Chain A
């Protein structure tokens, strides 16, 4: 078949041209999404009780030495960490959701499905109600530390189970759901015995908030992204092949079990850090990848970066909305992502694109 060179090769040239156009379109979309994200970050920094103009924000960010001390504090110490944290968390959840859906071959997979978010909530509740710290010496970060430790422990338990059972996607999803219900039950148990103040703290934690952002946390998120994302990118074709089924991927040379385990480890790290920093933010990990799938398809060379960007855009938008609904009040982001996510999710279910998962 490859030996036959057709003449004239008009169709061949046309096919190459069309593929080039599609690649160009994908790159243009990625660049456009980056530009929009940049703009939204500036709007996010503008939004808040002390209103700053677009020009002021730009000048404080790009020439801080010329800005007033008050503006510098508002922008650099208060708002920029929140805006950047929103982007990092969105990107982390977007990538985590995308790769969970890929390795588990399931459109509903995200950090919630595997029980990682509920494990993090349980860990945080342990710290809030019983003052138990799972990480000795965590200090003021013991709520975050507990959430992270619990999410990672759940991920390790998941590995353990799946290795016992053989790594099948169905087993992972079922065990994840079992974890989800277990942690929800344990959380309810803690809530039942908690004081009113503790209860309020747990609920606030669960609703998710970017108010806990700091430059240190932004840096941590960037480091985790810098470790995990290049590995996922280097496995782009293998992950793309996996979407054609385990046997097809294996026949093309993918070590499916190894790929699933390493990607699951990366995804767990992303999700555990994200939920431990901002709480249980729903739907970003689910919806981000679905938007990416609709816009650029599932070739990981576009799907992976676009899932990150879609997640970042959703979180950035959420951060703006959380501050803009009622001036002076910052609504919990988890609530807003759910309210945006649910209508989107339903429209997705009834839309044509759902056939990709039939």
Chain B
């Protein structure tokens, strides 16, 4: 199923955060990077798609279904949203944190297959050794990996990741990007990821969406969007792209 948004407007009090904007149908099995400067409206767009923020106008469509017509719970089963920030100070084991997503917050009894699914996810994410640790005892990067693992445990049509690599070292950034991209392909799900690192976006995303000042300014393949003059204006930098040694697209930015 494709995901699209049309004419979305969101107001926080009198402040307009999204201005009558939208994006074209995002394809299943593909990863889209949502890029844009700070306070461009990336997180608000995600919250609006997930139904955590009510749009003043506009629609979000998944396949032929208007998501506003679904109950909040049903919508969050179809749209998995990983927020950028969460409180990681609780005395909760990593296993329990992933398990709560696996169980969709229902039922005291944990079946063997549910435990196995959680264990498998932790193992695949390379964080099996953290399973018994409290989330409050982890480093920021480890907690972020748990959060990604928790999101990928859920079976949804759409996955929204708000800066999933912001606290990770180089190796783990690449690992997490690969896992998310592969999971979207394997599940045929729509993946959207807010990213500040344009190199990661260029390398892993099938599609880029540029947002600035609460409006979608450009969308298309990484090559198209990164070579569009609007990106330099939006970030207020000079941007050059070049192919790297492995034919990957590299982005260079200059502020002077």
Contact assessment for A15 and B95 in the assembled complex, using a CB-CB cutoff below 8 Å? yes
> B107-150, CB under 8 A of A: which get 1 and which 0?
11010100111111111110010011011110000000001010
A247→B116 contact, CB < 8 A: no
B89 touches A356 (CB 8 A): yes
For B87, give its contact among A2, A5, A9, A105 (CB under 8 Å). Answer: A105
Cβ contacts under 8 Å, B105 to chain A = 237-238, 241, 252-254
Q: Which residue of B lies closest to A256 (CB)?
A: B52
* Contact call B72/A355, Cβ cutoff below 8 A: no
Q: 13 new A-B pairs (CB below 8 Å) besides A293-B91, A297-B134?
A: A1-B124, A1-B149, A5-B120, A6-B124, A12-B119, A240-B92, A241-B100, A241-B105, A243-B90, A244-B97, A253-B72, A253-B105, A297-B91
Mark out the residues of chain A between 266 and 319 whose CB falls within 8 Å of any chain B CB in the assembled complex.
293-294, 297-299, 301
Bound form: Cα–Cα A294–B136 in Å: 13
Choose among A2, A244, A251 the residue that contacts B117 (Cβ–Cβ < 8 A): A2
Contact of B92 with A2 in the complex, beta carbons under 8 Å:
no
Partner of B119, one of A16, A250, A297, A357: A16
For A250, the closest partner residue in chain B by CB is: B52
Could you tell me which residues of chain B, from 56 to 103, have a CB within 8 Å of some CB in chain A?
72-73, 76-77, 80-83, 85-93, 95-97, 100-101, 103
What are the nearest 9 A-B pairs in CB distance? A15-B119, A245-B87, A237-B105, A248-B86, A243-B90, A297-B91, A12-B119, A253-B76, A247-B83
Stretch at the interface among A18-26, A132-140, A323-331: A18-26
> CB distance A301 to B108 under 8 Å?
yes
**Is B86's CB under 8 angstroms from A245's CB?**
yes
Q: How far is the CB of B182 from chain A (nearest CB, A)?
A: 8
Please give me the residue from chain B that is nearest to A236 by CB atom. Answer: B108
Contacts of A350 in B (CB 8 A): none
A3–B183 CB distance below 8 A: yes
Q: How large is the interface on A (under 10, 10 to 19, 20 to 34, 35 or more residues)?
A: 35 or more
Q: Does B187 contact A (CB under 8 A)?
A: yes
A237, B187: Cβ atoms closer than 8 Å: no
List residues of chain B with CB within 8 A of the CB of A20: 115
- Closest CB in chain B relative to A278 CB, distance in Å: 29
B32 at the A/B interface (Cβ < 8 Å)? no
A254 to B105, CA, bound (A): 8
A13 to B92, CA, bound (A): 21
Q: How far is the CA of A353 from the CA of B76 in the complex (A)?
A: 34
Which residue of A has the minimal Cβ distance to B79?
Answer: A251
B91 to chain A, nearest CB (A): 4
25 A-B pairs within 8 Å (CB atoms) are namely: A2-B124, A2-B152, A2-B153, A3-B186, A4-B124, A5-B120, A9-B123, A11-B119, A12-B116, A15-B122, A16-B112, A18-B131, A22-B93, A23-B110, A243-B92, A244-B86, A244-B87, A244-B92, A245-B83, A247-B52, A248-B86, A251-B83, A252-B101, A293-B91, A355-B136
Task: List chain B positions with a Cβ less than 8 A from chain A.
Answer: 50, 52, 72-73, 76-77, 80-83, 85-93, 95-97, 100-101, 103-108, 110, 112, 115-125, 128, 131-132, 134-137, 147, 149, 152-153, 155, 179, 182-183, 186-187
| Residues of chain A with a CB closer than 8 A to B186's CB | 3
Q: How distant is the Cα of A156 from the Cα of B95 in the complex, in angstroms?
A: 38
Q: Which residues of A contact B85 (CB under 8 A)?
A: 245, 247
Partner among A3, A5, A19, A241 whose Cβ is within 8 Å of the Cβ of B115: A19
What residues of B have a CB within 8 angstroms of the CB of A11 in the complex?
Answer: 119, 123, 128
Interface of B is mostly: helix
Query: What's the nearest-Cβ distance from chain A to residue B166, in Å?
Result: 15
Chain A residues in 8 Å Cβ range of B120: 2, 5-6, 9, 12
Instruction: Determine the distance from Cα of A12 to Cα of B103 in the docked complex, in whole angstroms.
Output: 18
CA distance A11 to B120 in the complex (A): 8
Q: Does residue A255 face the partner (Cβ distance < 8 Å to B)?
A: yes
In chain A, what residue has the closest Cβ to B155? A2
Residue numbers in B under 8 Å from A353 (CB-CB): 91
A4, B152: Cα distance in complex, Å: 12
Instruction: Report the nearest A residue to B76, measured CB to CB.
Output: A253
Is the beta-carbon distance between B87 and A243 smaller than 8 angstroms?
yes
Q: Flag if B93 contacts A297 (CB, 8 Å).
A: yes
Contacts of B182 in A (CB 8 A): 1
C-alpha spacing A23/B90, complex, angstroms = 18
Knowing A253-B76, A253-B105, the reply to whether A358 touches B52 (Cβ < 8 A) is: no
Kindly state the separation between the CA atoms of A245 and B120 in the bound complex, as whole angstroms.
26
Chain A residues within an 8 Å CB radius of B118: 15, 19
Asked if B90 contacts A298 (CB within 8 A), the reply is: yes
Report yes or no: A237 in contact with B106, Cβ–Cβ below 8 A: yes
B81 touches A251 (CB 8 A): yes
B146 to chain A minimum Cβ distance, whole angstroms, is: 10
With A and B bound together, what is the CA distance between A20 and B109 in angstroms?
A: 12
Closest Cβ–Cβ distance, residue A36 to chain B (whole Å):
22
Residues of chain A in range 1-60 having any CB-CB distance to chain B below 8 Å: 1-6, 9, 11-13, 15-16, 18-20, 22-23
Q: Across the interface, which residues of B come within 8 angstroms of A240, CB to CB?
A: 92, 96, 100
Assess whether A251 is in contact with B108, with CB atoms less than 8 Å apart: no
The A227-247 residues at the B interface (CB cut-off 8 A) are 233, 236-238, 240-241, 243-245, 247
Chain A residues near B152 (CB-CB < 8 A): 1-2
Which chain A residue has the least Cβ–Cβ distance from B120? Answer: A12
Assess whether B83 is in contact with A299, with CB atoms less than 8 Å apart. no
B103, B105, B118 interface centre (most CB from chain A within 10 Å): B105
Give B136's nearest chain A residue, CB to CB.
Answer: A356
